[in-house]
Structure 1
């Protein structure tokens, strides 16, 4: 069993930044990630999507952002454990915490929960032919844009991802359709306006059936959920972008104060368990609006790690100064 100053549960953007910041505060860290690679949703679900709401980048591809975060996190050589879902969290007799996974046990003075929405799986619609044509024309994300060059594409969904895929693929696709079950979109207003200029949009429409020749998709049937009137579209690909669901495993049994699927934290990012902190999409912060943004999670992580540092070493300063003042970053 390895021993650490802090165990970071989650290897997505917030977990990676947490590990970096822990290193900055001279804390030995281990990153425990349930997926087979670091980077979280940036890598698994939309590596070629552009990210515009991270400070310092007018626009950056999700894959590149993930690679930068991984490089940054590894500056202080944290241990990385992949394909391990945190299963149990137990307090030891000496006041430390033990995180048990399907692959080992890790003892730490503090724990940082940055699990996002958990181990990620796509939300499926259950439309006829959907499962039959998974990865044969039915997809839940875009990993390589070039796979959709010159194709007729139906995107199903009304959130940021669906709208962004329409904008991203329109310049290279032969035709882009988008079907959404309402007439209101959960996406930035400017993006929605631009989408209407490059895609054929069907509001109040849902996917009924995916058709093909057994090896690939060639049609999709959508219907108006007010009138049940159907339309058959000739398409080569269907991208179902209605979200993802996370598997939290036994986290709900750890004794954490939770609100739905979120871990409740205070202004210091402290949970109800002493020495256990949380940040990012997984949290519900008391007295604060919830914004599921990477930029928000970065700030929460810096606070959590700083508070954890002082918890571990009461003599430590909560704020250690700006990184530009630290010797690690000064040029000789």
Structure 2
């Protein structure tokens, strides 16, 4: 534990990656700590092939492409990476913090927390079904769109992910259905407009009541019209469930951070209630906060610059990168 980092970034999603990169660009000795075996967070784990339209300069980039682009760097801006490493807690010292992980301890003068929504799990189907169907006929994530080619597919959900995946899958599948318990969708207006002109067939307002494997290894899905006793059945090859995610904020509470619900309270300079600890991205809240990757990319550098100022590290004033390395 003789090595002391200037900054430890906890959380290796898109905001954490860019924050570590920016800290390294400001010549801080930086380590990025991620609990998963690979960097990338939700774009890499949950929607690697889903197209993202609200990242400036990267139109219709997929989740996997976005992470690949973020990880591109050179020898000037390298930072250490600790993967499959879970932070269990940290202790204040005169030099900063000693961070306890499942593998070892790390010492850093400052910490920037970019854990997103924390440990997440998909919301499961409310009906009973054979769990052995998961990863086969029933899925909660899309790993490869080719798995849906020439298939009959039912997508369940009414938010952005459900609508976006239904639209993407419809380009591969023989038939695509979208089932939602309401007649209206919570997705972006442009996506809902696209849905109305697509070949996706809507099943609304309906709710899934049962799923059963058929003799030919397909899936019989029984669904019921809301506020009635009327039931229907559809036979599909695959069911993709997009009911959203649940997050666990217990770890943040253990760290004695001031929370508002599951989110870390920060001010305009990304300070938390603890000295030399900052936070950025989906994990934080403040007046006017929006949970967008692009906003997190602004918050990360703000946190880094706050750490530089608080630690009284002598650096040139923050400026445009194009003027720093001519």
Same fold (TM over 0.5): yes
Pairwise CA distance, 1:290: 2.7
Alignment of 1:1-332 (within 5 A): 1=1, 2-72=3-73, 76-92=77-93, 94-129=94-129, 131-197=131-197, 198-213=199-214, 216-285=217-286, 287=287, 289-313=288-312, 315-316=314-315, 319-327=317-325, 330=326
Q: Which runs of 5+ in 2 are unaligned?
A: none
Q: Residues 7 and 110 of structure 2 are in contact (CA less than 8 Å); yes or no, is this contact kept in structure 1?
A: yes
Which has the larger displacement, 200-209 or 170-179?
Answer: 200-209
Q: How far apart, CA to CA, are the structure 2 residues paired with 1:73 and 1:11? A: 18
Q: Which runs of 5+ in 1 are unaligned?
A: none
Q: How far apart, CA to CA, are the structure 1 residues paired with 2:34 and 2:284? A: 18
Q: How far apart, CA to CA, are the structure 2 residues paired with 1:267 and 1:147? A: 45
- Alignment coverage as a number of residue pairs: 324
Pairwise CA distance, 1:143: 1.1
Pairwise CA distance, 1:145: 0.4
Pairwise CA distance, 1:165: 0.2
Aligned CA distance change for structure 1 residues 80 and 236 (closer, same or farther; 3 Å): same
Q: How far apart, CA to CA, are the structure 2 residues paired with 1:165 and 1:52? A: 14
Aligned CA distance change for structure 1 residues 216 and 282 (closer, same or farther; 3 Å): farther
Q: How far apart, CA to CA, are the structure 2 residues paired with 1:177 and 1:290? A: 34
Q: What is the root-mean-square deviation of aligned Cα atoms in Å?
A: 1.8
Structure 2 length as normaliser, TM-score? 0.94
Pairwise CA distance, 1:147: 0.6
Aligned CA distance change for structure 1 residues 290 and 54 (closer, same or farther; 3 Å): same
The superposition leaves residues 139-195 of structure 1 with CA deviations (integer Å, 9 ceiling, x where unpaired) of 111110001001111111111111100111111111111111223322111101211
Q: Residues 50 and 62 of structure 2 are in contact (CA less than 8 Å); yes or no, is this contact kept in structure 1?
A: yes
Q: Residues 138 and 217 of structure 1 are in contact (CA less than 8 Å); yes or no, is this contact kept in structure 2?
A: no
Q: How far apart, CA to CA, are the structure 1 residues paired with 2:74 and 2:46? A: 21
Which has the larger displacement, 112-121 or 241-250?
Answer: 241-250
Pairwise CA distance, 1:254: 1.3
Pairwise CA distance, 1:208: 1.4
Q: How far apart, CA to CA, are the structure 1 residues paired with 2:263 and 2:216? A: 41
Aligned CA distance change for structure 1 residues 147 and 190 (closer, same or farther; 3 Å): same
Q: Residues 136 and 217 of structure 1 are in contact (CA less than 8 Å); yes or no, is this contact kept in structure 2?
A: no
Q: How far apart, CA to CA, are the structure 2 residues paired with 1:240 and 1:147? A: 15
Which has the larger displacement, 159-168 or 131-140?
Answer: 131-140
Q: How far apart, CA to CA, are the structure 2 residues paired with 1:316 and 1:257? A: 30
Structure 1 length as normaliser, TM-score? 0.92
Q: Residues 9 and 20 of structure 2 are in contact (CA less than 8 Å); yes or no, is this contact kept in structure 1?
A: yes
Pairwise CA distance, 1:96: 0.3
The superposition leaves residues 257-277 of structure 1 with CA deviations (integer Å, 9 ceiling, x where unpaired) of 001110000011110111111
The superposition leaves residues 18-67 of structure 1 with CA deviations (integer Å, 9 ceiling, x where unpaired) of 00110111111111111111000111111001011001122211111111
Which has the larger displacement, 154-163 or 128-137?
Answer: 128-137
